[in-house]
Amino acid sequence: MDNIDKLAEYFREFPGIGERQARRFVYFLLSKNPSYLENLSSGIKNIKKEIRQCEKCFRFFTSPEKCNLCFSPNVETDKILIVEKDSDLEALKRSGNYHGFYFVFGGLVPIVEKTTESRVRINELVERIKKDLTPAPTKVGSDPSPSKVEGQLKEIILAFSASPQGEHTDVYIRRTLSPLTDPANIKISSLGRGLSTGTELEYSDKSTLDNALKNRS
């Protein structure tokens, strides 16, 4: 295996990249000047140093110190929206009409499932919802603080792509969460029903996402 093959192997692991595209990337790099390659490789080297992962929603972010989606004073604490991946979250955030919490699920549940728990954040999601459903203890004699997040959850919105695997993930999460959400009377709605079949969330435009949000059921 020569260096071209070796590098192409790395690119093949990227989402949606096949063998031919992987090799095109390698030849593209060969055509660039040394400073481009230098900047690219130092960017790759430092990516994990500068970027943090939020312990609440699991998204990646660079600044500030705390994730500004989870710790914003303006967040609507009665909703949580669950997406497959960071790029879907970005698309919904850009659309600008959703102001609740987010949660990055980390993947879709394979239809023939074997090791779901290690592939996606189902355990983390269950823990998160449990926490959000438990009212925070209020100290005797103190006013309940309006900034308390716990116990305010009213709706869980599942926002997966309108594909068989997205649909399957939707069903899987509903089934897993229902012992928690049914007794607490928490609504679970799906965004996918407002999207046309095959729609990838991350490539949807603002009005498609706005409509899907409005028509969630």
The residues of the shown chain that bind Zn ion, judged by CB under 5 A, are 54, 56-57, 67, 69-70
For Zn ion, give the closer residue by CB, 22 or 57: 57
Nearest to 204 by CA among 159, 165, 168, 171: 159
* Distance of closest approach, residue 104 Cβ to Zn ion, in angstroms: 9
Distance (Å, rounded) from C-alpha 179 to C-alpha 22? 45
* Distance of closest approach, residue 129 Cβ to Zn ion, in angstroms: 15
* Distance of closest approach, residue 56 Cβ to Zn ion, in angstroms: 5
For Zn ion, give the closer residue by CB, 57 or 173: 57
Q: Which residues of 109-145 are buried (b: 16+ CB within 10 A; e: fewer)?
A: beeeeeebeeebbbebbeebbeebbeeeeeeeeeeee
Under DSSP, the state recorded for 131 is H
For Zn ion, give the closer residue by CB, 54 or 209: 54
- Give 124's Cβ-side CA count (13 Å radius): 16
* Distance of closest approach, residue 62 Cβ to Zn ion, in angstroms: 13
For Zn ion, give the closer residue by CB, 102 or 172: 102
